[in-house]
Amino acid sequence: MYEQAWHKQAISDLHFLVTGGAGFIGSHLVEYLVQHQAGQVTILDNLATGYRENIADFLKAPQVRWQEGDIRRLDECRQACQGVDIVLHQAALGSVPRSVQDPLTSNEVNVSGFLHILSAAREAGVKRVVYAASSSTYGDSQSLPKVEDKIGKPLSPYAVSKYVNELYAEVFAKIYEMEIIGLRYFNVFGPRQSPKGPYAAVIPLFIEAIQQGKSPTIHGDGEQTRDFTFVANAVQANIKAALVQEPKALNQVYNVAVGKRTSLNQLWHLLNADEANLLPVHYGPARPGDVRDSLADIGKARQWLDYHPGTDIEEGLKITKAWFKFRPINAFPG
Ligand SMILES: NC(=O)c1ccc[n+]([C@@H]2O[C@H](COP(=O)([O-])OP(=O)(O)OC[C@H]3O[C@@H](n4cnc5c(N)ncnc54)[C@H](O)[C@@H]3O)[C@@H](O)[C@H]2O)c1
C-alpha cells in the first residue's frame, strides 16, 4: 500500500521506535518504514488491543525488532528507546466509551505511559518524538472547522488524557529542549482496524454488518458528522512530521484529517454503494462523551508539514472494504 514515498531524505540511517506498532495505525507505520528501508524499526506493544498478525509479515524483515512490553513500565520504555532516533508514539487505549467505563486504566496508559515514553526518549537522547494526539481535544468547542489553537472543554476521560499529552509535550519541549510534534488524528480508518469488542470503531462495525447481512446500530440519529481519514494519510503525516527540518514546524500540534465531513447515515450509504440491498439502520441512544460534529482545518499541516491527504473517503472505503473481504471480520483473533 505504500509504494509512494513521502520522504525525500534517506531513512536508511535512522532507527525508529513505533509504540503501539501491533495496532491499527502503528502497523501501517511499520509497513511504510519496512517498505522504504528504514535503518531499524523497534516495535513496543503489549498487545492489549493490537495483534501480532498485524505485523507478522514485517517481523520477517531483518531490521525489525519486536519488544512485547507495556508503556506503563518505565524500564520497558527505557529499553525500547535505546539507540532510537525517532519515536512514533501510537500506544494508548483508544475509545471514548472505554475511558468512560474505566477512566483509571485509560489514564495510566495514556497519561503515565506517555510520560514514560517522553522521559525515556529524553534520557536516551532521541532526536524527535511524534505522538498520536486526538481530535477529541476539541471537546465542546462548537466552531467548525476545527483550528488547532481553538479548543473547548474535554467531554470524556479519553479527551482529557489526550489533551494532557499535549500539555506535557509542550512543557518537555521547552524545559528539556526536545523536538516533539503532536498529530491530532480525526477518525482514522483502513485495513487492520479492529472490529472486535465493545469499543470497535464505526467503519469496521458497518463492514461487519454488511458481511453478515445485519442492520447496524447507530448511537443517536446518525446525523453526527466526522472527518473520516484514511490511514495512509495518517502515515504520511507521521513520516513528514518525523523528518521535517523547518524549526517553526517543530513543537506544534497538527490536525490530521481530510477536511471533509460525512454523517454516519451518509457513511452507511457510501459503504453500501455497490451492494444489491441497503439494509435499514437501527438507532439507539446517543453515547455520553461523543462530540456532535467534527471537521478539520488542515491548513496548518499543509503549510508546515507539506501534508496533502492523497486518499479521500470514497477511495479509502473501497480499499478498506476490499481488504476485509480477504480477512473477514470473524478471522480477527480475540
Ligand atoms: N483510530 C483513530 O481514529 C484515532 C483517532 C485519534 C487518535 N488515535 C490515537 O492513535 C493511536 C493509535 O490508535 P489505533 O486506532 O491504531 O488503536 P489500536 O488500539 O489499534 O492501537 C493501539 C496500540 O497500542 C497498544 N497498547 C495499548 N496499551 C498499551 C500499553 N500499556 N503498552 C504498550 N502498548 C499498548 C495496543 O496493543 C495497540 O496495538 C492511539 O494513541 C489513539 O488514541 C486514534
Residues with CB under 6 A from ligand 1: 20, 22-26, 45-50, 70-72, 90-94, 109, 113, 132, 134, 185, 187-188, 194
138 within some domain: yes
Cα–Cα distance measured from residue 327 to residue 157, given in angstroms and rounded to the nearest whole number: 33
Q: Helices 264-271 & 202-212, crossing angle to 10 degrees? A: 40
Residue 329 confidence (pLDDT): 64
Beta bridge partners of 67: 44
Compute, in degrees rounded to 10, the torsion defined by CA atoms 96, 102, 107, 108. -140
Residue in this structure with the C-alpha cell 453500501, named with its chain if needed? 272
Nearest to 186 by CA among 314, 294, 89: 294
Return the pLDDT at 235: 98
pLDDT in the model for residue 152: 96
pLDDT computed for residue 70 by the predictor: 98
Look at phi and psi of residue 55 and say left if phi exceeds 0, alpha if psi is from -120 to 50, else beta: alpha
Q: Residue 9: inside a domain, yes or no?
A: no
Q: Considering only CA atoms, which residue is closest to atom 19 of ligand 1?
A: 49
Question: Ligand 1: which atom is nearest the Cα of residue 162?
Answer: 43
Domains held by the chain: number: 1
Residue type, 117: I
Distance in Å, CA 275 to ligand 1 centroid: 31
Let me know if residue 305 belongs to a domain: yes
Measure the CA angle with vertex 57, ends 51 and 59; round to 5°.
Answer: 80
Could you list the residue range(s) of the whole structural domain that residue 81 is in? 15-189+228-258+295-310
CB 133 within 8 A of CB 183: yes
Average pLDDT per 10 consecutive residues for the chain, totaling 334 residues: 89 98 98 98 97 96 98 98 98 94 97 98 98 96 96 95 98 98 98 89 94 94 97 98 97 98 97 91 89 95 98 97 82 66
Pocket perturbation via mutation, ligand 1, pick of 18, 46, 88, 184 by most ligand atoms within 8 A of CB: 46
Tell whether 120 is covered by a domain. Answer: yes
Choose the catalytic residue: 32, 51, 131, 158: 158
Active site residue 158: yes
Tell me how far apart the terminal alpha carbons of the chain are, to the nearest angstrom. Answer: 26
**Best mutation site among 31, 54, 73, 90 for ligand 1 pocket (most ligand atoms within 8 Å of CB):** 90
Query: What is the pLDDT, as a whole number, of residue 307?
Result: 98
For residues 129 and 89, the answer to whether their CB atoms sit within 8 Å is yes
Q: What is the pTM of this model?
A: 0.97
pLDDT for res 287:
84
Of the candidates 217, 228, 229, the one whose C-alpha atom is nearest the C-alpha of residue 262 is 228
Query: Is there a domain that residue 199 lies in?
Result: no
Gap between the Cα atoms of 164 and 226, Å rounded: 23
> Quick one: pLDDT at residue 328?
64
| 5 within some domain | no
The ligand 1 atom at the shortest distance from the C-alpha of residue 135 is: 6
**CATH number of 82's domain:** 3.40.50.720
**Is residue 204 one of the residues assigned to a domain?**
no
Q: Before 145, cis peptide (omega within 30)?
A: yes
Contact 168, 114 (CB under 8 A): yes
Residue 272 lies in a domain: no
